[in-house]
A and B are shown apart, each in its own frame.
Chain A
Amino acid sequence: MSDDLVRVAVDEERCIGGGQCEMLEPEVFLLDEDEVISSVIGSGELPRPRADVVVHRCPGAAISIVEPQRPSE
Chain B
Amino acid sequence: MIDALVAPLQFEFGVRALLAAALVGLVCAVVGSYMVLRGLSFMGDAISHAAFPGVVMAYLFGGSLYLGGAIAAVATALGIGWISRRARLRSDAIIGVLFAGMFGLGVAIYSAIPNYVGDLFGFLFGDVLGIGLGDLIGLAILGGLVILVIWALWKEFLFATFDPLGAGASGLNVNRLDYLFLGLIALTIVVSIQAVGIILVVAMLTTPAATAQLLTARFGRLMAIAIAIGIGSGIAGIYVSFWLNLASGASIVLIQTAIFFLALALGPRRGLLRRHPARSAAEGT
A and B form one complex = no
